Amino acid sequence: MSDNHWLADQFNQRRDRLLAAAFRMLGSSAEAEDAVQEAWLKLSRADICDVQNLGGWLTTVVARVCLDMLRTRKSRREEPLTLTENNAAVELTEPETMLADAIGPALLVVLDMLAPAERVAFVLHDMFDLRFEEIAAIVGRTPAAARQLASRARRRVRGAPAPTDGIEPHRDVVTAFLAASREGDFQHLISVLSPNVVMRADELAVRTSAQRTQQGAPSLAPEVRGASCVADVFKGRARGAVPVMIDGEPGAVWAMGEHVRAAFLFSFEGGKIAAIDLVMHPLDLAELSVEFL
């Protein structure tokens, strides 16, 4: 079998799944077909010698094409697409990709109300089980911001507020973390951090830190792992940070008035902080819903 025939065969094996993903992101079978065809064109022109997961590569390509199409649609202020018989004809062929409840016209209407990045993050994670690290690369966000996009979309789709279970204990942990950080209490910081905690900072945060080292700002790496190392980063810092609710979950921000300049997104495990994502990029911050306490 020639290389072209092999590629075509591999693509056709995955075509139904790609079409289903595109349809969920776009809500239009015609546009989904266009997105999948664009993925084939990119595949036929690409050097995939080093691609180890062709299915994942194709899903990423289709998702990026769909995201561009959604953004173009929004910039033109088009009306949401309506479901037609052709739309309804696109069915998932792999049971593991289906939601517990079938996707119907009502959900497609709700999906059309989401921002492009929200819709893509929700579809890829909740319907197609992609990891947030993969989704982050597609939507141009940090993994934490991608997680927040999907979480906000999920609540809007369900038409319900965020669950309150665990919010108060987590809020207390964030408050204790900020207090220990301001006071330089290393042991108290350690006590609220998971031993395997990971801190991630976006590119703007890293760059801003490097520019301010002469003024005493900490040297910030894109990723820091382990309770001791993360505690070192925050010891004596976070003086201007205040606790807030971010997308219905406990977090913290550094703000001027109510203009958020940096956000701290927390993940929790076993009553301790398991991950901290420092977000400064304006596009990421604009995606966050911040409620000052």
Which CATH number covers residue 261?
3.10.450.50
Boundary (domain end) residue, out of 108, 140, 158 = 158
Domain boundary among 110, 140, 158: 158
Do 13 and 144 share a domain, yes or no? yes
Q: Are 123 and 24 in contact (CB under 8 A)?
A: yes
CA distance 96 to 207: 41
Predicted pLDDT of residue 171: 92
Q: Could you write out the three-class secondary structure of 241-264? A: EEEEEECCEEEEEEEECCEEEEEE
Strands 193-201 and 272-279: parallel
**Helix/strand/coil for 104:** coil
Do both 150 and 214 map to the same domain? no
**Residue 120 and residue 42 in one domain:** yes
Query: In the numeric block, which tokens belong to residue 6?
Result: 């092999």
Position 75 scores a pLDDT of: 61
Q: In this structure, are 58 and 195 located in the same domain?
A: no
Q: Which residue has the higher pLDDT, 248 or 77?
A: 248
Torsion of CA 218, 220, 226, 227, to 10 degrees: 30
Instruction: CATH number of the domain at 59, please.
Output: 1.20.140
Edge-to-edge strands of the sheet including 241-246?
223-225, 193-201, 272-279, 259-269, 249-256, 241-246, 290-292
Average pLDDT, the chain: 81
CA dist., res. 222 & res. 237, Å (int): 17
Which of 133, 158, 183 corresponds to the end of one domain? 158
Same domain for 74 and 172, yes or no, is no
Strand runs labelled E in 140-271: 193-201, 223-225, 241-246, 249-256, 259-269
Using only C-alpha atoms, what is the Rg of the chain? 21
Same domain, 137 and 213: no
Question: Are residues 208 and 102 part of one domain?
Answer: no
Token pair listed for 224: 């820091």
pLDDT digits (tens, 9 = 90+) for 225-273: 999 999 999 998 888 899 999 877 899 999 988 799 999 998 888 899 9
Q: How many CA atoms lie within 13 A of 108 on its CB side?
A: 21
Clarify whether residues 139 and 200 are in a common domain.
no
Instruction: Give the domain range for residue 112.
Output: 3-158
The residue among 292 and 91 whose pLDDT is bigger is 292
CA distances from 210 to 207, 255, 284 (A): 5, 20, 20
Residues 239 and 272 in one domain: yes
Single-letter amino acid, residue 212? R
The more confident residue out of 51 and 225 is 225
pLDDT digits (tens, 9 = 90+) for 99-143: 333 445 556 666 777 888 888 998 899 888 898 889 988 988 778
The helix/strand/coil state of 201 is strand
Let me know whether 76 and 188 are in one domain.
no
Whether residues 91 and 207 share a domain: the answer is no
Instruction: Give 48's Cβ-side CA count (13 Å radius).
Output: 21
Beta strands in 95-248 (DSSP E): 193-201, 223-225, 241-246
Cα angle, residue 86 at apex, residues 82 and 90 outer, rounded to 5°:
100
Q: pTM score, two decimals?
A: 0.60
Largest CA distance in the chain: 68
Q: Cα 8 to the chain's mean position, in Å? A: 31
The bridge status of strand 193-201 relative to strand 223-225 is antiparallel
Question: In degrees rounded to 5, what are phi and psi of residue 235?
Answer: -60, 120
Residue 63 has pLDDT above 70, yes or no: yes
Q: Report the distance separating Cα 14 and Cα 278, nearest Å.
A: 37
252 and 188 inside one domain: yes
Number of independent structural domains in the chain = 2
